[in-house]
Every structure is written in C-alpha cells, then in structure tokens.
Structure 1
C-alpha cells in the first residue's frame, strides 16, 4: 500500500510539473490578448514578416510540446539524487526562464514593444542556456529535453529581430 501511495504522489508531482509551464504559457497568451484587445493570430497576421516566418498555426503546435518537455525535464531534475544545492540552482534558472518566457508575449503582443521584447528574448536565451547547463549537472536527459526549446528560442529571437526591423 505504501508503494501505491508514493506512486500516486509521484504522478501528481509529475502532472503539476507539466501543467505549470503550460498554464504560464496560456496565462501569458491571455494577458497579452487582454492588454492589446486583439488576438495573437490577428496581430501576427497584420505584421510584416520575413519569408522564413511560420504561420500562426505552427506556434499553437510547437509551444505546447516545448512546455511539456520543460515540465518533464524539471520533474527529472527535482527527482534526481543530486545535491540539494544543484537542484536549487537548477530550479532558480528554471523559474527565471519561465518568468521571462511569460513576459515576452506580454511585451511583444500585449504592449507591441518589439525592441524591448528582442532584448528580453536575448536575455531569455542566455538564462535558458544557464538552465540547460545546471540541468546537465543534475541529469543529462533533463538538459537534452530543453535543446529543442533553445533552438526554438534562437529562431524566435531572429524572427523577433526581423519583425522589429520590418515594422518600425
């Protein structure tokens, strides 16, 4: 019976780890829409974009996948047998990147601050690299699960730059 209770507890912890980034992403989207009073899709369609810009549908597929990977990786980190200090350091960067991730949509879509969002996403990329490094020190698989996120953020930063230039 004790094993079953631990399993249910672990399942709850896993679900919470996965839901937190999903909810933060959704909340960011919601707040951005409320501030701008225009949906993400409409704003994105109205922007002048470079040829390599994806359709708005791509974001609705990619972000949930990245959020799930983030949550799984964090669960692996907090379940590891590494030192408390390493887990605390990894947790610090994890929550900092989540906060920056939340903020980017609010800046870019909510307030239409394209340049500020560009600076912010660059900082996000640096914090994300630090997070991946600290995750690597705890668990290699947890770190590797965030490589697609780093690739996407790098792409998004380049896209942000060109949208800022084209829409001055």
Structure 2
C-alpha cells in the first residue's frame, strides 16, 4: 500500500485541530486543579499528553478507512459518524471546563461514548486495524466518564 501523504497529514491534522481548538476554548485548568476528584484521578498534565496520542490514533484510523477499498458509501457512513463524534468530543471539554456543567457534560460524554463505539464498529468492518486504533480512545472516554461523574458527585 502506497502512503498518500497529503491525505494522511490531513487526516492527522483534523482531530489535532479539533482537540487544540477545543482546549483553547475550554480555558485553563486552574479551576480543575481545585476540584475534589474521585480515586485514580491522574494529574492534570497527563490529559494533553493522552489526548494528543489519541487524536493521532484517530487520525490514522480515519486515514486507513479513507484509503481503503471499501465501497464509497460504506466509507462515507463510517466517516460521517467519525466526524459527528469529533464534534461531540470538541464540545465536551467546553461544557466541562469552561461552563462547569458537570452533569450535562457527563450525559454528553455518554452520547460521545456511543458514537465512538459506532465509529469503532464501522471502522473495524472496513479495516480491522482502524477499529483497533480506536479501542484506547473508547477506554479513555470510559475512564473520563468515571472521572466526570465522580467530579459531579464530589463538587455539588
């Protein structure tokens, strides 16, 4: 398989841009550092590191789907759900960090989790490796759900 560099770079840039813009609009993490957190909460510095890796994995997964030999309609359906979950991902950080709407952000995150699961299933049917690249993302969002709900409960 020949690498289509422009397409690969675009596929990597899209989730990184979504994450970067979301982080910019979410504000700083100062308030987050003062919140009561549930057990197993990682230090704040770890979040951007993990998210950068996950965004790169998402981008690579979308590239594998985009350049696959699957029928165009199947690729379009998978990439539409991928785009939708990116939109939900973009807004979650803003809801949680900027607006401090912890319960609403948790509900939003549950919807995001479902969209990631659908994306993963559609990707795995087209390119199994693409689906596998999304497993850590789904796991991290599961953990983020635990943290989000814990913060909601501990910070009335």
TM more than 0.5: yes
Structure 2: runs of 5+ lacking an equivalent? none
CA distance in structure 1 between the partners assigned to 2:20 and 2:31 by the alignment: 17
Question: After TM superposition, what 4+ stretches of structure 1 lie above 6 angstroms from structure 2?
Answer: none
Structure 1: runs of 5+ lacking an equivalent? 1-5, 34-38
- Superposition RMSD in Å: 1.1
Contact 1:21 / 1:98 at 8 angstroms: preserved in 2? yes
Q: CA deviation at 1:13?
A: 1.1
Of 120, 124, 130, which residue of structure 1 is paired with 2:112?
124
- TM-score, scaled to structure 2: 0.97
Of 111, 124, 134, which residue of structure 2 is paired with 1:146?
134
CA distance in structure 2 between the partners assigned to 1:68 and 1:145 by the alignment: 10
Q: CA deviation at 1:60?
A: 1.8
Q: Which protein has the bigger helix share?
A: 1
Of 11, 26, 43, which residue of structure 2 is paired with 1:17?
11
2:24 is matched with 30
CA distance in structure 2 between the partners assigned to 1:68 and 1:60 by the alignment: 12
Query: Cα deviation per residue 1:104-155 (whole Å; 9 max; x = unaligned)?
Result: 0010011110000000000000010000010011100000000000000000
The reply on whether 1:61 has 2:49 as its aligned counterpart is yes
Structure (1 or 2) with the larger CA radius of gyration: 1
- TM-score, scaled to structure 1: 0.90
